[in-house]
Amino acid sequence: CETLTEELKDKKIFVGRAQKKAERQEELTKKFEAFKMERLQKWQGVNLYVKNLDDTFDEEKLPEKFSEFGAITSLKIARDDKGVSKGFGFVCYTTPEEASKAIAALNTTMVGSKPIYVAHAQRKEQRRAQLERQYAQRASQRMQASIFPNGPMFYGGPNTMRP
Q: pLDDT digit string (tens) for 84-117?
A: 888 899 998 888 888 889 889 988 888 878 899 9
- pLDDT for residue 35: 85
Q: How confident is the model at residue 21 (pLDDT cuts 50, 70, 90)?
A: very high
Longest dimension (CA), the chain: 107
Which 8-state DSSP code applies to residue 34?
Answer: H
d(CA 95, CA 71): 8
Q: Are the CB atoms for 59 and 79 separated by under 8 Å? A: no
d(CA 98, CA 48): 11
Task: Please give the share of the chain, as a percent, with pLDDT higher than 90.
Answer: 12
Which pTM was predicted? 0.59
d(CA 53, CA 86): 8
Shortest CA distance to 75 belongs to which of 65, 127, 105? Answer: 65
- pLDDT for residue 29: 93
Q: Are the CB atoms for 47 and 98 separated by under 8 Å? A: no
